[in-house]
Amino acid sequence: MREPSIFKDLVLVGGGHSHALVLRKWAMNPLPGVRITLISPQAMTPYSGMLPGLIAGHYSFAETHIDLVKLSLWANIRFIQDSVTAIDTETNTLKLENRPTIEFDVVSIDIGSTPNQQIEGSAEFTIPIKPISDFYQRWNLILKQVQQNKTKSLSVVGGGAGSVEVIMAMAFRLKEYSSSLKYYLVTSSEDILPTYNDSVIKRVKQQFQKYRIDIHTSSRVEKVDQGVIHCKNSDPIITDEVIWCIHASGSSWLQKSQLECDDAGFMKVRKTLQSLNYDHIFAAGDIANMVANPRPKAGVYAVRQAEILFDNLRAFLLNQTLVDYKPQDGFLSLLALGDKQATGSKSIISFSGDWVWRWKNSIDVKFMNQFHQLPILSMPSGSTVNPQLVDDEDKNEQNDPLKRCAGCGAKVGASILQQVLNEVMGETYYQPQDAVKISNQAEIIYQSVDALKTPIQDPWLFGKITVNHALSDLYAMNLKPESAQVLISLPYASQKIQKRQFKALMQGITTQLDTLQCRFLGGHTSEMSELSIGLVVNGVQLQQQNNIFHKQGLKHGDKLVLSKPLGTGVILAAAMQAECDGDVFNQAITSMLQSNSKAAMMLNQLNVKACTDVTGFGLLGHLNELCMASNCAASLSLNAIPLLPGVKELAEKSFKSSLYSQNRKIFKMMEWPDSITQQVCFNLLFDPQTSGGLLAGIPANYLDELEDGFYHQFSIIGEVVALDDSITRIRIEQN
C-alpha cells in the first residue's frame, strides 16, 4: 500500500512522559498526511517515578528507561537525537546543536526541568539530579568511589519528595559497601516534605534515623565550594559529594524566545496546553506553567496531560475545537523509603509498609510495560488525507499518490529546486545547465553509480549514509573522489513538505561530500512512492605512485582484512519490525556514517593489490568475486569476523534481510560442515551491508609492520589459499 502524501510536520521536542504516551497513542491511531518528528538529546528517557528504585538497585537501567529509538521505529516516526538550542516562532524553525534547523507546522515541547543552579558554585561543585541520564552516570562513579573508600560523605540539597527519596535510596544502596558513610539533607524549609501530612513526615524521619541521615532544616545555601556547603546562619557542611535537588527551573532557550515564560523559564500555557501567544505551539509536563490552574511539578500531571495533548494536537491540525485540560486537585503520592518499603498519602490519609512498595512497584511497572511490550500494529484500513490538512496552495494539485503524473510530470518543481539549492549551496548557485563538466584535467576519470531507498526516517542522516555508500566503490579502488551527481526521488507531498524533505537531504549529501572533498555537480529530481537517492560518483588517481586496487590480485598467503563489522542488514530488518533496541540501531547508524576514506589510506601503504567494498552481496558474495577474479580460494575464521553489537542476538531470533536468501542461493553448491552452518554467525556472512567496510588482501610479510592503529580499523578474518579441485572455493573454520 502506498504511503499517503505528507502535508503537515508535527515536531515533538523532548522525550518526556507526555510525548512518549502521545507517540504510543498516535501510532495506534495515525493521522494520514501528518509527519511526526521527535527530537531528544537522549535516546533513553528515564521514568522519574522509578529513579529511587534504580539508585537503590531494585531495577535495572533498561527497566526504568523508555527506548525512544525503538519507540520511534515502532511508531514509524522520525527520531533525531540532538538538543534544541532556539526556536523562531516567525519562521517556524528549531535550531539544533549538531545539525541543520528543523521546520515545523505544529510543535509540542516536553523537555522537563532542571534544578536551579544560580547559587554561587552550584554549577561547578554539585551534581544536579536532572537530567537523570547525566546524574545516573555520576551516581555510578560515586558507587565506585565508595567501594574504593574514596568517598566518606554525601549531601543532598533540597527537602521535597525527590530529595528525600534520592538520599534514602543512596543510603540503602551504599550500606553494603560502607557502614560509616555520613549523609546530610540540607533544606531551607523549616521541615522536610512541606506539602505532606505529619504522618508521612514522621515515617520518613524514622527511615532517616535508620540510615543515620542528618537533617539540616532552615539552612538556606548561599554558596558551594569544592567539598563545602555554606549556609546562612549555620556552620559550613563538609562533604565529598553534593547532589543538587532544589526547586526546578526551565530552559534558557525558551526564555530567550518569543514565547511567554515565567521568571523561572517555564512556558506559560492555556487550559488547552497551547502557548499563551502562539496557537500552534504546545507544551506539557514540567516545562509547562498552567497559568489558569497552577500545580506543583509532578509526573502525574504529565501522564494525565498526554490524553488531552494527543486530542488537541490532532484537533488543531484538523481545525477542530480543542478541549481543556482539567488537573485534579490532589493525587495519590507514594514515596519509596530506600529499601522495599514505601509510604503514601492522599489528602489527610497516609499509609506505610512493604505492601505500599509493592503497590507502587505494580503501578510503575504497568506504566513502563506500555513501552517495553509494544503491541503489533495493525495495517491502517485507509490512508485518505483529511482535506483540512491541505493548504490552499496545494488544493488544486492532484494529491492522490495513485493518480500522480509519471514521466516528466513527476519532476520536482523548479521553484523548489531553486529555493533549496540556493539556501543550501549559496544564493546564486542555481544556474541550470543541460550538462556539467566533470573535470578540468586530462586525467583518467573512473565512474561508479549506486542507489538506495531509505531504510530510516531521517533524510539528513540518509543523505550522509548514501554518500558514504556510493563513494565506497571509489575507495575500494584507492581513488580520490572528485565529483558527484545525484538522482533524488521524493515521496509525494505538499510543496512545503517536499521542500523541507529535499533541503534536509541536500544538507546531508553536501555536508558529507564537503567533508570528503568531493564536488557536488548537480543532478535530477523526481517524485516516487518512496524516498531514494542515486549517486553517480567520479574518482581520479590522486598520485601516479598510488596503486589502483582491483578485484584480481589476491596471492597465496595474503591475509584477508575487513574494516567494518557486519550486521547492518539484520539490524535494519529488525528495526522495520520494531524489534531492535535503540542502542543497537544507533551503533549501526554510526557504522554506516563512517567513511571508508581512512581505511583506503591505510591499505595504500601496504602494497595492496586486491580490494572491494562489502555491500549488497554480503561478505561471502564479495569475497567470492575477489577469489574468482584472482583464481584462488580463501579460508575464513568465523570467530574472527567482527559483528555489530547486538546483531548476533537478533540473528538468533531469525531476523534476516530480504536479500539474504538470494545471497545464500549463490553458494548452494558449496558444502560446509554442520558445525559451521548451524552457527548463528554463519548466516551473517550473507547479510547485505549498507555502507559496509573494505575487504582486502594484505601480503603476509607486511604484518610485522602494522601498528596499533591498523588493528583499530581492521580485523584479520582469514587468508588466501591455493585453489584445488573442491567445489568449496571459500573454506570456513570456527577458530
CATH assignment of the domain containing 429 = 3.30.1330.10
Predicted pLDDT of residue 678: 92
C-alpha cell at 706: 602494522
Question: Residue 471 and residue 453: Cα distance in Å, rounded?
Answer: 16
One domain, residues 654 and 716: yes
Q: In this predicted model, what pLDDT tens digit does every residue of 350-378 receive, in sequence order?
A: 999 999 999 999 999 999 999 999 998 87
Angle at 179 between CA 173 and CA 183, to 5 degrees: 70
The answer as to whether 385 is a domain residue is: no
Q: Which of 249, 275, 292 is the last residue of a domain?
A: 249
The answer as to whether 569 is a domain residue is: yes
Q: In this predicted model, what pLDDT tens digit does every residue of 535-552 receive, in sequence order?
A: 999 999 876 557 899 999
3-state secondary structure of 706: coil
3-state secondary structure of 242: strand
One domain, residues 290 and 146: no
The answer as to whether 615 is a domain residue is: yes
Closest to 532 measured CA to CA, from 498, 490, 569, 493 = 490
422's CB contacts (< 8 A; 6+ apart) are 428, 429, 430
Q: Flag whether pLDDT at 419 surpasses 90.
A: no
Q: In this predicted model, what pLDDT tens digit does every residue of 166-204 receive, in sequence order?
A: 999 999 999 989 889 999 999 999 999 998 999 999 999
**Partners of 349 in the β-ladder:** 346
Four-residue CA torsion sign, 276, 278, 281, 287: negative
Question: Residue 715 and residue 485: Cα distance in Å, rounded?
Answer: 33
| Helix 299-317 vs helix 17-28: crossing angle, to nearest 10 | 40
Predicted pLDDT of residue 405: 46
One domain, residues 218 and 80: no
Q: What is the arithmetic mean of pLDDT over 495-523?
A: 94
One domain, residues 479 and 590: no
Q: What is the arithmetic mean of pLDDT over 553-576?
A: 95
The answer as to whether 474 is a domain residue is: yes
One domain, residues 494 and 533: yes
| CATH code for the domain in which residue 705 is found | 3.90.650.10
One domain, residues 228 and 164: yes
**Among the listed ranges 231-245, 274-288, 425-439, 613-627, which one has the minimum average pLDDT value?**
425-439
Domain extent, residue 212, equals 122-249
Predicted pLDDT of residue 545: 57
Cβ pair 16, 112 in contact under 8 A: yes
The answer as to whether 198 is a domain residue is: yes
Q: In this predicted model, what pLDDT tens digit does every residue of 116-167 receive, in sequence order?
A: 888 999 999 999 998 888 899 999 999 999 999 999 999 999 999 999 999 9
Cβ pair 620, 667 in contact under 8 A: yes
The answer as to whether 371 is a domain residue is: no
Angle at 346 between CA 341 and CA 348, to 5 degrees: 110
Strands 267-269 and 241-244: unpaired
One domain, residues 663 and 714: yes
One domain, residues 256 and 109: yes
Q: Flag whether pLDDT at 274 surpasses 60.
A: yes
Strands 153-157 and 241-244: parallel
How many structural domains are present in the chain?
4
Q: What is the arithmetic mean of pLDDT over 685-698?
A: 96
Q: What is the arithmetic mean of pLDDT over 335-350?
A: 91
Closest to 614 measured CA to CA, from 598, 632, 596, 627 = 596
Q: Flag whether pLDDT at 407 surpasses 80.
A: no
* Three-class SS of 300-325: HHHHHHHHHHHHHHHHHHCCCCCCCC
End-to-end CA distance of the chain: give it in Å, rounded.
46
One domain, residues 135 and 231: yes
Predicted pLDDT of residue 397: 61
One domain, residues 158 and 41: no
Torsion from C-alpha of 423, 425, 426, 427, nearest 10 degrees: -50
Predicted pLDDT of residue 421: 66
> How many CB atoms within 10 Å of residue 29?
9
Phi and psi at residue 99, to the nearest 5°:
-160, 175
Q: What is the arithmetic mean of pLDDT over 219-248?
A: 92
The answer as to whether 628 is a domain residue is: yes
The residue whose grid cell reads 510503575 is 364
Q: Which of 508, 540, 572 is the last residue of a domain?
A: 540
Predicted pLDDT of residue 408: 42
Torsion from C-alpha of 711, 714, 717, 719, nearest 10 degrees: -90
In terms of Cβ atoms closer than 10 Å to its own Cβ (0-12, 13-18, 19+), residue 558 is buried
Q: Flag whether pLDDT at 568 surpasses 70.
A: yes
In terms of Cβ atoms closer than 10 Å to its own Cβ (0-12, 13-18, 19+), residue 186 is buried
Q: Flag whether pLDDT at 430 surpasses 70.
A: no
Predicted pLDDT of residue 580: 94
One domain, residues 198 and 276: no
- Of the chain, the percentage scoring pLDDT greater than 90 comes to 72
Predicted pLDDT of residue 433: 52
C-alpha cell at 337: 523509603
Closest to 417 measured CA to CA, from 432, 401, 437, 434 = 432
C-alpha cell at 555: 596471492
One domain, residues 702 and 581: yes
Q: Where are the beta strands (DSSP E) in 169-235?
A: 182-186, 213-216, 221-225, 228-231
Question: Residue 245 and residue 165: Cα distance in Å, rounded?
Answer: 11
| CATH code for the domain in which residue 187 is found | 3.50.50.60
* pTM to 2 decimal places: 0.90
Cβ pair 492, 565 in contact under 8 A: no
3-state secondary structure of 155: strand
Question: Residue 38 and residue 93: Cα distance in Å, rounded?
Answer: 14
Q: Which of 209, 234, 249 is the last residue of a domain?
A: 249
The answer as to whether 81 is a domain residue is: yes
